[in-house]
Amino acid sequence: MSNRILIIARDEWRYWQRSRLSLAVIVIALSLVAASVWITRTSNSDTAHQREHMQSEAEHNFRDQPDRHPHRMIHYGHYVFRGLPPLGTLDPGIDALTGNTVFLEGHRQNSATLADKKQSSGLTWISALTPAFVMQVIAPMLLIILGFSTVTREREAGTLEFLNVQGVSPLTLLAGKGLALFSAALVISTPLLVGVLISMTDGAAILPAITFIASYWIYLLIWSAIVLPISAFTRSNTLSFSGSLTLWMLLCLIIPRIASNTASVVIHSPGKLETDFAVLQQLREIGDGHNTSGPANSALKASLLAKYNVESVDELPVNFKGIVAQQSEANLTKVLNQFAQKQMQQQTDQADIYRHFGWLSPMIAIQNASMTLAATDLTNYHLFLRQAEKARFDFVQALNKLHAEGMTLEQDSNKYRSNAAKKAATVSADNWQMLSQFSFTPLESGARLHNSMMALAQLIMLFGALISTLLFLGKRL
């Protein structure tokens, strides 16, 4: 039986070699995947070098500032950039849609900015042809063009009954045709495999990389198993092609759109203006760190006076303004983190709804598996925002500590009276070396594999359901 399957698969390849259309489809598919791997890798490599350079330059500029008041350095701020993980060259995920840099400063959490999609012109549409997009959307369509006539061609030529007489069972025929179609899919995915191997040399973890390419092979198996029964149980090439193409539109275009809209409707996400007003309302309640005499700082003042056993803030061994700045920043950050966490949870809930549509569409399943394994999904974007916020809080509080301990309250209060007083209220530029080097660290490989389990299960179950359908219907061919 295995010999017959191989003979049928080999015969299908001979037909494709004789058919100009089939051969052209294979060449076009192979070229598209190879070009997308090369273009995306080159583009992302340049982007990664630019971000590394800008990160280094931002840190150099901060450390190179002259003697200044610490609070001025808090508002001078600092930039951090999100680097792309190795597998991100194959699936950039949401990187082009979300920002990749955050400006860090005191008293506020800024959004990530400089998203590639927002900056790109209409002439850069080809940059969207990432290997992930080509494999998820275009490759299935090319498999349809290649395989829609695998069985209907035999029926129209009258050879189907002849094969049955020769002892070739319907399941053997479908297995041979399926083997040929999947082997063509493997050929098409060769550049992606090469890209994965290159990513591994760039530092990609082995298990996520292997699972990444394996998930795409399962996805291509699914599409091979979709095309075959349609070709087997339609009476003409025209019906087979139109039916397969309709299903491709449904699974790759319509259901993902429905999933996205459903997530947005079910989980309400307030607009930026609404959120900003809510944040401002809560920040008014905790007081302003610039106003040391405000009612919000009365308890802090009383606590410090009792701690150091003095009568006024002028007698404190630390600068009261700096202490207020530290306390205010901590309270403010707590409020900002609460709002940020709420927003992240809303986005995660929307993504979870979208992910569940992967039980209906293999395209959604492979999209989620691919981004998760490549560390370019929403979870890793949120991780970048959290790491950026930690860097912001650490450097702001380090400067506030310097504000509290690096000058007296008298020097701080009189800094605008004269040039000499202004100079007395500054600290040495050597203190700016306290800025830590920032480098985004994505989720470790074990966590990424765990997070991809649902999407992988969806792919495996869809494939299992299709194989069961083929086994059941194959006996009735």
Short-list 134, 112, 88, 40, CA closest to 347: 112
> 306 burial class (0-12, 13-18, 19+ CB within 10 angstroms)?
exposed
- In this prediction, residue 125 carries a pLDDT of 40
Whole-number pLDDT of residue 114: 59
Segment 127-152 shows an average pLDDT of 91
Residue 121 confidence (pLDDT): 39
pLDDT of residue 112 exceeding 60, the answer is yes
Write the pLDDT tens digit of every residue in 82-99: 988 999 999 999 987 887
Report residue 216: phi and psi, to 5°. Answer: -70, -35
Rounded to an integer, what distance in angstroms lies between the CA atom of residue 83 and that of residue 119? Answer: 18
Cα-trace Rg, the chain: 30
Look up residue 445 and give its two tokens. 């490989």
Query: Interhelix angle for 206-232 vs 170-188, to 10°?
Result: 140
Q: Which parts of 64-121 fold into alpha helices (H)?
A: 70-76, 116-119
Residues 6+ apart with CB under 8 A from 239: 152
Domain ranges (residues) in the chain: 1-66+125-255+468-475, 71-113+268-454
Alpha carbon distance 191, 202 (integer Å): 16
Residue 172 CA to residue 175 CA, distance in Å, equals: 5
* Distance in angstroms (rounded) separating the CA atoms of residues 417 and 107: 26
Q: Tell me what pLDDT residue 274 has.
A: 76
Mean pLDDT computed over every residue of the chain: 90
| Structure tokens that stand for 151 in this block | 């069985």
Side chain identity, residue 273 = L
Q: Find where tokens 């192979």 sit.
A: 30
Residue with more model confidence, 165 or 417: 417
- Interatomic CA distance for residues 112 and 99, integer angstroms: 4
Q: Could you report the per-residue pLDDT of 349-361, keeping only the tens digit for each?
A: 999 999 999 999 9
Q: Give the pLDDT mean for 226-243.
A: 93
Read out DSSP for 258-317?
HHHHHHHHHS----HHHHHHHHHHHHHHH--TT-TTSGGGHHHHHHHHHHHT-SSGGGSS
Listed ranges 304-313, 370-379, 418-427; the one with the highest mean pLDDT: 370-379
In the predicted structure, residue 477 carries a pLDDT above the cut 80:
no
Contacts of 422 (CB under 8 A, 6+ apart): 415, 416
290 or 261, greater pLDDT:
261
Res 3 pLDDT > 50: yes
User: Residue 248 pLDDT > 50, yes or no?
Assistant: yes
Is residue 121 within 8 Å of 94, Cβ to Cβ? Answer: no
Q: In what order do the strands lie in the sheet with 101-105?
A: 78-81, 101-105, 108-109
Q: Tell me the three state secondary structure of residue 105.
A: strand
* Residue 466 scores a pLDDT above 60: yes
pLDDT in tens, 60-77: 999 999 999 999 999 999
Instruction: Report helix angle 206-232 to 453-474, nearest 10.
Output: 30
